[in-house]
Amino acid sequence: MVAAWITALPRSPRVLRRTALGALLGAASGLARAAKPAVLLRFSHVVAPDTPKGQMALRFQALVHERAGGRIRVEVFPDSQLWGDDDEMEALRLGAVEMLAPSLSKFGNAGVPEFEVFDLPYLFADLAQVQRVTQGAVGRGLLQRLGRQQMLGLGFLDNGFKQMSATRPLRTPADFSGLRVRVQASRVLAAQMRALGARPVVLPFGETQRALASGVVDAAENPLSNFLTQGLAPWQPHLTLTQHGYLGYAVVSNPRFWASLAPTDRALLDSALADALAHGNRLAAALDQQALATLRRTPGVMLHQPAAAERAVLRRAVQPAWDGLRRSLGPGLLDDVQNALITG
């Protein structure tokens, strides 16, 4: 019932949801205590169940149920049913939820700016390159840094590469001129859009469809699975396959909750999550291809494939985003990431 109350609350202004978080935290905790098993783990996320993240969360839930015999219960809340983009991290810190999988772009504003490296345009060529970073020493170091902000980093999940959608094709920097583009709250993403002549507009993911429908924004960047499951085609008929940026997630938990678990329970959850993440990462590439095939058959959707020369022009145009991040973070992390891409 508490989840239903929160879902019914207006999404903006953000202060309303933050006020609701404080007011309903006690009620939510009370209801959870009244009916919880030995361990109750609430897993909240903001996308649809049939996305890589949605499927990963459901696989994690099923594996825990199977291996714990019902003694540990995982409740999954998709589509911002429990907490939205703008308040889920605060909910985690306050103990109103035990597990999240926020977009990597969100951690910069949450006090871990090193994660903004994942927002650099044209950094990765494919998911194999991404995993050289996330599954290696660089990724482990980044997860450890989340402890500075009262989050325990547990693993990375792929969603895929972002494409541009708008009411016109976006093949050249001139095509972006003057467009209001929805982005996540990331300095790198905002710098990227400004370099292209567009105006970045920061909005929670759950508000994207409404913003496009009402004309608050003109364009957006999304992996194909998100574009499809959010039903953006009626307002964004032109989909340009720019493959310009990566979108992934980090699974995080509340450190106090994790520390409160018995060692055997932590081991069980760690094992189930590792298997669920492997499943989600396998799905990411497959669902991306399925979404592309579906969109090719969708009436009214026009797909555009920039030529190699057009992609090179776009890559040069967004160089200021690279320069800005190198100035703010220093060369160390960028060098580590690029070395990981080379050495594998």
pLDDT in tens, 209-238: 999 999 999 999 999 989 998 899 999 999
In this prediction, residue 174 carries a pLDDT of 97
- Average of per-residue pLDDT across 65-73: 94
Domains belonging to the chain, first-starting first, are 2-343 (3.40.190.170)
pLDDT reading at 29 higher than 50: no
- Average of per-residue pLDDT across 73-95: 91
Tell me the average pLDDT of the chain.
89
pLDDT reading at 57 higher than 90: yes
Which residue intervals of the chain are DSSP H helices?
A: 2-8, 14-35, 52-68, 88-94, 106-109, 127-134, 137-145, 173-176, 187-195, 208-214, 224-229, 255-260, 263-296, 308-317, 319-329, 331-343
pLDDT in tens, 82-92: 888 778 999 99
Q: How many angstroms separate the CA atoms of 33 and 23, rounded?
A: 17
In this prediction, residue 331 carries a pLDDT of 86
Residue with the larger pLDDT of the pair 284 and 18: 284
In this prediction, residue 12 carries a pLDDT of 41
In this prediction, residue 344 carries a pLDDT of 61
Phi, psi of 81 (to 5 degrees): -65, -35
- Average of per-residue pLDDT across 37-53: 91
pLDDT reading at 339 higher than 70: yes
pLDDT reading at 23 higher than 90: no
Element (H, E) at 159: strand 152-166
pLDDT reading at 63 higher than 50: yes
Nearest-5° Cα angle at 324, 318 to 327:
145
In this prediction, residue 87 carries a pLDDT of 87
Task: Report residue 297's pLDDT band, with 50, 70 and 90 as the boundaries.
Answer: very high
- Count the Cβ atoms, other than its own, within 10 Å of residue 334: 16
- Average of per-residue pLDDT across 251-276: 97
In this prediction, residue 32 carries a pLDDT of 42
In this prediction, residue 37 carries a pLDDT of 64
pLDDT in tens, 114-137: 999 999 999 999 999 999 999 999
Q: What is the residue type of 333?
A: L
Task: Report residue 162's pLDDT band, with 50, 70 and 90 as the boundaries.
Answer: very high
Token pair for 177: 């001129």
pLDDT reading at 5 higher than 80: no
